[in-house]
Amino acid sequence: MTIASPHLGSPAGWTDARLLYALEEVVENELNRHLKVAKDWMPHEYVPWTDGRNFPGQFEDGEAWGKEQSKVTEIGRIALVVNLLTEDNLPSYHHEIASLFGRDGAWGTWVHRWTAEEGRHGIVMRDYLLTSRAVDPDKLEQFRMSHMSEGFESDNRHSMLHSVAYVAFQELATRISHRNTGHQSGDPVCDRMLSRIATDENLHMVFYRNLLKAAFELAPDLTMQAVRDVVVNFRMPGHGIPGFERAAAQMAIGEVYNLRIHHDDVLQPVLRFLKIMEIDGLGPEGQKAQEELGLFMGGLDAEALKFDEKLAARKARMAARDA
């Protein structure tokens, strides 16, 4: 580490500034690793341009949009809109992490690199949606204007450590959401595009997950409390999208993202990697956070089981009706 750390069992002396400085070397190493494994790709290569045609407009004649023009399923359409509108708020996300992590040194290099990579996602998704006529272009733009006009403020903007913990889970959640959307879309072209995006999101998750592991080595009590807070209060950055609650419910039923997926495929993999329940030597507050985290995960698993049962019953009813 770049500075001598305070006593590991005590939060005394740790501030955001000190943690940023102490983690700079880890950030540099993770940045170099990321740049070696990340592959550049061209958004335009994933778009079916030959399927495109004009929409009606002020300067061109065109064909009005209709659902029947697209191969994408209804659940795929809903999830694609949510995923794209979430990506659209990239300027706000950049502002958040640049304010927290800074624009200098390894931290700053990462902030700008991450933003550049994320920018591809919105570009390719919008081009795909418009070219393939998967969504109503007028409504999509109206939603974008409404969502971006509200801006975005992270629930964790008060703390660098909370923010690192949040994005470690959120990047994985985004990867899972994109991947499952592709599987449910009904269009192999869409599936390939979202698979490419999901690969990026996974690399971003690995960066933050490894950074979080290093934070545990420096300040275990504070990091445990941050993880506890983030897991208990987790919500996706797209929660401000118009109609998000209804769309989220449809995505849950459509098995794009639901409680079971959140528990099994997002929270558990990160917590297992960190060996969160095996960390010892914690002070009273760290131990309390660890215990509360374990209790919460048990309760979430029970809630997910209830959801599984309801979903299975719903599928059985639909199968009986179709028969």
Q: Is 178 annotated as a binding residue?
A: no
Instruction: Tell whether residue 201 is among the known ligand binding residues.
Output: yes
Q: Any binding-site annotation on 171?
A: yes
Using the CB atoms, write b or e for 145-162: b if 16+ within 10 Å.
Answer: eebbeeebebebbebbbb
Contact indicator for 182, 16 with CB cutoff of 8 Å:
no
For helices 74-88 and 137-150, what crossing angle results, to 10°? 40
245 marked as binding residue: no
Residue 278 assigned ligand-binding role: no
112 is in an annotated binding site: no
CA distance 189 to 180: 14
CA angle 263, 111, 171 (to 5 degrees): 10
Three-state secondary structure readout of 102-163: CCCHHHHHHHHHHHHHHHHHHHHHHHHHHHCCCCCHHHHHHHHHHHHHHCCCCCCCCCHHHH
Burial class from Cβ neighbours inside 10 Å (0-12, 13-18, 19+) for residue 70 reads buried
Residue 263 is given by DSSP the state I
User: What single DSSP character describes residue 265?
Assistant: I
Tell the burial category of 6 from Cβ atoms under 10 Å away from its Cβ (0-12, 13-18, 19+): middle
Q: Which residues are part of a known binding site?
A: 87, 118, 121, 171, 201, 204
Q: Which residues are part of a known binding site for Fe cation?
A: 87, 118, 121, 171, 201, 204
